[in-house]
Amino acid sequence: MDGLHKVVDFCVRHQTILGCTTVSLLTAASEHIFSSAVFKCPCNSKNIIYGSSFLLAPAFVLLLIGFVVNPSTWHLLTGRCSSENHVKYSPGGNCACFCQVFLPVTAKASVAPLTWIAVALLGANFYECAASGSSLMETFFCKNNGTDCRDQLLKVPCDEELSAKISSERLSLHVQSQLIGCFLIASIMTGTLISTCVRRCYSPVSYLQLRYYEIYTKKEEELFEIKAKEHATKLAERNTNCFFEATDPAPFHIPSSEDWQKISILYTFNPQKLHDNCNSQEQYYSKLHEFVSTNRGSSTKCNEESQPLTEFQDETQAS
């Protein structure tokens, strides 16, 4: 049990890295299936269209899927086009907060498409097919080589002997693809490391407080999901019971639309933010945290005016 607990704890602590690794492995496996079982270069004038489609189109689809399945995408977009919400709940009056949320979303959505392109370049099938139909490669390979070179270049992906003959004095398309793939992987790793270092260097808080903030936000999301399901279930039970039993509904507190808007505003962690009602500094770790801290009085009033749900359940059971 101790070993299982350590494994679970490790997965929770590194769930982002493990998630990206899993997505990368699944994407690499999908690329291998496409390359070996589906892809077949036509070896004619359509090479560049066919090869480019297999190299870029799946990557674009994976990018769109990455945005769609990320809840933060819909957090960014929901209500953005409403003029009323834009005026009342504009995040900081500028796009800085939007960018701070959008960039991590884009980074996560880019894992699968970049993996697809990198693995495809290392495999070289898609690039070799597309490049063999490119006018740039024609100039590179067929300079001073006669008029038949163009037709031979188009057949390179389908003939290994012809490929070795044409690329005997120049860098082959296969090697070009692998070099580009290695450079892309190195660039991604370097860019990720540099951006992470810069972001951490400009962090307004210490490492441990930043870890605490990350832990808090994850736990808040988990608990909010659980409480929301419980609250919605109880409300549904109240309404269905009243409908079938023809009874009057008991008071039940539901957050107002304005309250929902307040906790849905884009938020970036600012440890220097002052409490609205106090002279002392108070740190907020989310919009929900800020809402609860700055609306204590109104929340208490709402709770006092609402009949406890346990009383309602006792009444329904008695009836």
Position 310 scores a pLDDT of 43
Q: Quick one: which of 251, 265, 270, 290 has its CA closest to 88?
A: 265
Task: Specify whether the CB–CB gap between 129 and 41 falls below 8 A.
Answer: yes
What SS3 class is residue 4? helix
pLDDT given for residue 246 in this prediction: 85
- Closest by CA to 179, choosing from 122, 137, 133, 113, is 122
Listed by start position, the domains of the chain span 7-77+102-202, 207-257
- Distance, in Å, from the CA atom of 43 to the CA atom of 157, rounded to the nearest integer, reads 7
Inter-helix orientation angle 15-33/47-68, to 10°: 150
Per-residue pLDDT of the chain (319 residues; tens, 9 = 90+): 555 445 445 455 556 676 777 888 888 888 888 777 788 888 888 899 999 999 999 999 999 999 999 988 888 888 777 766 554 544 444 577 777 788 889 998 999 999 999 999 998 889 989 998 888 888 877 776 666 777 888 888 887 777 777 666 567 888 889 999 999 999 999 999 999 899 889 887 888 988 898 899 999 999 999 999 999 999 999 999 999 988 888 899 999 988 998 888 877 776 544 334 344 456 788 889 989 988 754 544 444 334 444 444 444 444 4
Using only the alpha carbons of the chain, give its radius of gyration.
29
What torsion, rounded to 10 degrees, do the Cα atoms 157, 161, 165, 171 define? 50
Whether the Cβ atoms of residue 75 and residue 161 lie closer than 8 Å to each other: no
Query: Considering the entire predicted model, what is its pTM?
Result: 0.76
Which residues, listed in sequence order, are joined to residue 281 by a DSSP beta bridge?
274
Could you give the CA distance from residue 100 to residue 72 in angstroms, rounded to a whole number? 12
The answer to whether residues 272 and 204 touch, using CB atoms and an 8 Å cutoff, is: yes
Residue 62 is predicted with a pLDDT of 92
Nearest to 127 by CA among 163, 182, 178: 178
Taking the CA atoms of residue 298, residue 301, residue 306 and residue 307 in that order, the dihedral angle to the nearest 10 degrees is 150
Give the CB-side neighbour count of residue 256, counting CA atoms within 13 A: 7
- Predicted local distance difference test score (pLDDT) of residue 304: 36
Per the structure block, which two tokens stand in for 201?
């260097």
